[in-house]
Structure 1
Amino acid sequence: MKKYFTLYWPGLQNFHLTKDVGLIPYVFQKHLNYEVSILCGKNEEHYDEVFTKNITLNFMDDEASVTSLLQKTDILMFIGLYDFNLNMIERFKSVNPNGKIYLKLDLNRYWLNRITFNDRSINLLSNNSLVSVESKNLKKIIDDTWPIKVEHIPNGFYDFFDSPLINYKDKENIILTVGRLGSYEKATEIIMEAFKIASEKTS
């Protein structure tokens, strides 16, 4: 019997496929034998064929096809606690009450202070749901303040190149920062300032 996994990500662009947005569906189809779909808005992107191989892109241009996909989906995944996600969770539960929900919060401390709950959101996330946060420190805060249960699942890494394992003693002293360098959220200026201070003390 086939199992179906769907990710709902309305604004899918090609660069998302190398992030958790693309990698989690990729792992579900490659290693867990799920039929995988990404439910998204249609645009002019040419999607990377490596990441979308054996993954169906379902564009939300036909309501009947969206409903059909939701009805057969076993696990529907969301990223971020946004109103548009809650609206889709509500729709999903109305047509597939036994379907399971995975909400990956993708949370940082700035977003933590913006989230509020009401009876509707609590009800939508209480049954047949897995909600996860990436940070242990944020989970501690959530456990004390949120009305729903949240698990700690850190961001992973998928090695497409089958790289050899390196023993700890053979590692080099390299500091690597990865992300949208220069964006406010990544605070690249902090690490640059740290490098400046360190260089002054070692020169």
Structure 2
Amino acid sequence: MSKKIAFICSVESYKLSEAHFFKDLCLVPILLGKYLNYDVSILTTELNESVLHQTFPSVKFEHIPFEGNFEANMNAYLMEHAQEIDIAFAIGPYPSYLSMLKTYKHYNQNGKIYMKLDVNRYWLSRLMTYSYFEELLQVCDLVTSECESIQTEINSVLNVDVKLIPNGYYEYFPTEPVAFDQKKNRILTVGRLDAPEKQIKFAVNAFLAAELEDWEFRLVGSMSDQFKQELNAMLEGSPHAKQVVIVGPIYDKYLLEQEYRQAKIFCLTSTVECYAHVFAEAAKNGCYIISTNVDGAYDITKNQRFGKIHPIYDWENIGREMKRAAAQEVVLANTCEEIQKFARADLNWEVIVKRIADLLDE
């Protein structure tokens, strides 16, 4: 009988969207299963099975009813099927996981639990006050953090051994490294642009203040009509308004890749992140990174070797950094080469899952 990996969803993540299929919570168990040649199942209430199977045809969806009590329903499933699961994957140290993972271990003592933390500094500060947190981590066979600072803090306080595994990028199609002369004078940001924590208006203010005559600031991602109107109102009257290009969402993976490949600088002005996936995409495509001091920023820039980090909300200094970086063509060119080497060696999910398999001793 084939070995099996199961992604056990928590109460807090029982409904998976199509976007989740290409993020860490689904990619890690799916690619780990591919590497180890294990069957993979996703245990949850709702997902688009047809879309999942377009990219990952062998992954199975096991329906766990949400009605009544999802946690109780998951525990009932695990009582019956835990022996069939060799590795249980969980993401985020949510309270509902404690009973689920204890049930799994009770009915399969030889099974292994991998907990990917996916926490930022603010969530961690709350978690440290909850009694269940350390108990949950001690149930797991492998616990990993995306950021070195989070790993260090947990290991220094709790009786656990958290390992460091960053977030990576997934190649939908093979790509070659980007030559710097293929890039354009572009600063790029990608994400849910109207999300308050993304602080896109601060980023736009920074770019306008930088007064870069021959550069574009390209905004890629979804936003509401109201937010778009607010942005246009901000730009009205600015001599650099036409250089701020509201691209909108890009669903075509090839076209999105081109945005990264053509940008010289990637800018992130969020108030909170946990090693944003866009960091790895930008690094893989040779972008110099300007970021606020969010979790993962020091990791991806190698302590500012590949970019600069500024305090949250400090759009004035981010604007000055845009101006400085744009004038340093040699720095941008060297970063383009070096950050790609780092990312392509260490941040491809196909590479990362091999390290996870080693840590699981599989």
By the TM > 0.5 criterion, same fold?
Answer: yes
- Deviating runs (4+, > 6 A) in structure 1? none
Superimposed CA distance per residue, residues 95-144 of structure 1 (whole angstroms, 9 cap, x where no aligned partner): 111111111111112211110343x5534432551111111222222232
Tell me if 1:104 matches 2:108: no
Tell me if 1:5 matches 2:9: no
Judged with a 3 Å threshold, the aligned counterparts in structure 2 of structure 1 residues 104 and 149 are, in CA distance, closer, same or farther, namely same
* Structure 1, unaligned runs of 5 or more: none
Residues 1-203 of structure 1: matches in 2 within 5 Å? 2-9=2-9, 10-42=14-46, 47-61=51-65, 65-116=77-128, 117-118=130-131, 121-126=133-138, 129-167=141-179, 169-170=180-181, 172=183, 174-199=186-211
Deviation at 1:67, TM superposition (A): 3.4
What TM-score results when the alignment is normalised by the length of structure 2? Answer: 0.49
Matched-pair contact (CA < 8 Å) for 2:78–2:104: no
The DSSP-based 3-state class of the residue aligned with 2:43 is: strand
Per mean C-alpha deviation after superposition, the further-off stretch among 27-36 and 153-162 is 27-36
Per mean C-alpha deviation after superposition, the further-off stretch among 5-14 and 193-202 is 193-202
- Aligned mates of 1:121, 1:17 — CA distance in 2: 27
The number of residues matched between the two structures is: 200
Superimposed CA distance per residue, residues 60-93 of structure 1 (whole angstroms, 9 cap, x where no aligned partner): 1477654343221111111101011222111111
Matched-pair contact (CA < 8 Å) for 1:182–1:189: no
Deviation at 1:45, TM superposition (A): 7.0
Judged with a 3 Å threshold, the aligned counterparts in structure 2 of structure 1 residues 152 and 54 are, in CA distance, closer, same or farther, namely same
- Percent identity of equivalent pairs: 34
Normalized per residue, the structure richer in helix is 2
- Aligned mates of 1:148, 1:22 — CA distance in 2: 25
Deviation at 1:55, TM superposition (A): 0.3
The DSSP-based 3-state class of the residue aligned with 1:196 is: helix
Superimposed CA distance per residue, residues 33-73 of structure 1 (whole angstroms, 9 cap, x where no aligned partner): 11000000146775332344100000114776543432211
Per mean C-alpha deviation after superposition, the further-off stretch among 15-24 and 149-158 is 15-24
Deviation at 1:165, TM superposition (A): 2.5
Letter aligned with residue 33 of structure 2: Q
Matched-pair contact (CA < 8 Å) for 1:139–1:150: yes
What TM-score results when the alignment is normalised by the length of structure 1? Answer: 0.83
Rg comparison, structure with higher value: 2
Note the aligned Cα RMSD (angstroms): 2.7
Matched-pair contact (CA < 8 Å) for 1:139–1:152: yes
Letter aligned with residue 15 of structure 2: G
Judged with a 3 Å threshold, the aligned counterparts in structure 2 of structure 1 residues 98 and 170 are, in CA distance, closer, same or farther, namely farther
* Structure 2, unaligned runs of 5 or more: 66-72, 213-319, 324-362
